[in-house]
Amino acid sequence: MGLTIDTGAIVANWRALAGRAPAARAAAVVKADAYGLGAPRVVAALYAAGARDFFVALAKEGRAIRPHLPDDARINVLSGHMEGEDLAGLVPVLNSPAQFFRDRVMRPGQPFAIQLDSGMNRMGMEAGEWAAIRAEALAANGGRGPDFIMSHLACADEPDHPANAAQLAAFRAMTEGCAVPRSLAATGGILLGPDYHFDLVRPGVGLYGGLPFAEARQVVRLSLPVIQTRQVEAGEYVGYGATWTAGARRRIATVAAGYADGILRALSSSGASLYAGGAACPIVGRVSMDLITADVTDLSSVPDALELICPEQPIDRLADFAGTIGYEVLTSLRQRYERTYL
Ligand SMILES: *Cc1c(COP(=O)(O)O)cnc(C)c1O
């Protein structure tokens, strides 16, 4: 019962994605507590498998995993050097000239990386900003320069999108002649092929079983305890707002989890099901804070628990029902579940 996280599958997915980019080093993106699955466990398993480069969004996340990794693991902080932040043992990815100058004053001689904007307009230096500090950045730390220079693709999960080639060209133009490792690809970019791989790839969601890595091994199962079952007669309703009414006599199971556990309320009467040994039991009525109701009429016997995330309903299928993406399904899973790591 609870959330089962298959760390062996995470490692297998990391190896598979690394194998798609054999000329590059494979990092692992573990921001947001490894997409909700528990960063300390995930980084330890990936380090044991050979990963040495990790990415987090915030310095705070970096400090949380630093004690779980040996000194030769590099923890890169995507938000860069925010004012007053303790970056001991971390590598800030500097996103603006202001961050660059702050970092060089506060952390002279310490490793850093650079993020460039190649078109997404979310993070990183524009071409003109980079041109203005490029010589100083490349000469920093006794000529060693940044650990790497990176950018990020906006549309990598759509292989035919013209933004991919345009961003690739922009990144190449901005980094031409820099004798520094380069990084452009997350999960989607790895799958776009070798032009996008450069020296370091940064898979995230694919490690955790999510699209666009369609061949990923599933990592998560979520099993929810059944609290009670009842019979409802034709015309009786179930749940808040009385949004679902039985058309005939049905058996309804109530399970102990809801939107406070990160089960998106948009799954209410969405076509999503709870599963009993592979048999679908449609979610009926609204997902409430701590409870979900499902139609179990077709089961010969109701088990102690029903599954929400399972091979029949992986994270991206659930995401489709909720009108979102697998990333949000994963990162919404809350700490309240019993967790089992395989
Ligand atoms: C989140 C993130 C990644 C990982 O992306 P996935 O699509 O999950 O593989 C890589 N790089 C940056 C800059 C990111 O923000």
DSSP 47-110: HHTT--EEEESSHHHHHHHGGGS-TT-EEEETT---TT---TT-EEEE-SHHHHHHHHHHSTTS
Q: Are residues 275 and 253 in the same domain?
A: yes
Round to whole Å and give the CA distance between 7 and 12. Answer: 9
Q: Does the beta carbon of 99 sit less than 6 angstroms from any atom of ligand 1?
A: no
Q: Are residues 31 and 105 in the same domain?
A: yes
Q: Are residues 167 and 75 in the same domain?
A: yes
Q: Are residues 226 and 204 in the same domain?
A: no
Question: Residue 318's domain is classified under what CATH number?
Answer: 2.40.37.10
Q: Are residues 47 and 173 in the same domain?
A: yes
Specify if 213 maps to a domain: no
Residue 336 has a pLDDT of 83
Specify if 27 maps to a domain: yes
Strand pairing report for 182-183 and 149-150? parallel
Give pTM, 2 decimals: 0.95
Q: Are residues 263 and 135 in the same domain?
A: no
Residue 248 has a pLDDT of 97
Round to whole Å and give the CA distance between 284 and 330. Answer: 22
Q: Are residues 304 and 274 in the same domain?
A: yes
Q: Residue 148: which H helix or E strand, with range? A: none
Round to whole Å and give the CA distance between 149 and 43. Answer: 23
Please report, as a single letter, which amino acid is at residue 136. E
Q: Does the beta carbon of 330 sit less than 6 angstroms from any atom of ligand 1?
A: no
- At a CB cut-off of 8 Å and minimum separation 6, what does 262 contact? 36, 332, 333, 334
Specify if 279 maps to a domain: yes
Residues 223-261 pLDDT 10s: 999 999 999 999 999 999 999 999 999 999 999 999 999
Q: Does the beta carbon of 134 sit less than 6 angstroms from any atom of ligand 1?
A: no
Dihedrals phi, psi of 110, to nearest 5 degrees = -90, 150
Q: Which atom of ligand 1 is nearest to the CA of 93?
A: 13
Specify if 300 maps to a domain: yes
Residue after which a domain boundary falls, among 182, 208, 234: 208
Q: Which atom of ligand 1 is nearest to the CA of 202?
A: 10
Q: Are residues 114 and 246 in the same domain?
A: no
Residues 132-187 pLDDT 10s: 999 999 999 999 999 999 999 999 999 999 999 999 999 999 999 999 999 999 99
Among 37, 78, 118, 198, say which to mutate for ligand 1: greatest number of ligand atoms within 8 Å of CB: 78
Q: Are residues 20 and 140 in the same domain?
A: yes
Residue 269 has a pLDDT of 87
Q: What's the number of domains the chain is made of?
A: 2
Residue after which a domain boundary falls, among 186, 208, 230: 208
Task: Provide the annotated binding site for substrate.
Answer: 122, 289
List average pLDDT for each run of 10 residues in the chain, which is 342 residues long.
94 98 98 96 98 98 98 98 96 98 96 98 97 97 96 97 98 96 98 98 98 96 97 97 96 96 93 96 96 97 97 97 96 89 94
Contact between 21 and 199 (Cβ < 8 Å):
no
DSSP 225-243: EEEEEEEE-TT-EESGGG-
Residue 109 has a pLDDT of 95
Q: Atom 11, ligand 1: which residue's CA is nearest?
A: 186
Ligand 1 centroid vs 14 CA: distance in angstroms? 14
Round to whole Å and give the CA distance between 135 and 143. Answer: 10
Residue 210 has a pLDDT of 95
Residue 22 has a pLDDT of 97
Q: Are residues 202 and 322 in the same domain?
A: no
Residue after which a domain boundary falls, among 164, 186, 208: 208
Q: Are residues 86 and 225 in the same domain?
A: no
- At a CB cut-off of 8 Å and minimum separation 6, what does 51 contact? 14, 26, 27, 28, 43, 73
Q: Are residues 13 and 130 in the same domain?
A: yes
Specify if 262 maps to a domain: yes
Specify if 215 maps to a domain: no
Question: Residue 49's domain is classified under what CATH number?
Answer: 3.20.20.10
Specify if 2 maps to a domain: no
Q: Does the beta carbon of 29 sit less than 6 angstroms from any atom of ligand 1?
A: yes
Specify if 149 maps to a domain: yes
Ligand 1 centroid vs 287 CA: distance in angstroms? 30
Q: Residue 204: which H helix or E strand, with range? A: none
Ligand 1 centroid vs 162 CA: distance in angstroms? 19
Residue 1 has a pLDDT of 73
Among 14, 33, 53, 55, say which to mutate for ligand 1: greatest number of ligand atoms within 8 Å of CB: 55
What is the residue range of 263's domain? 220-341
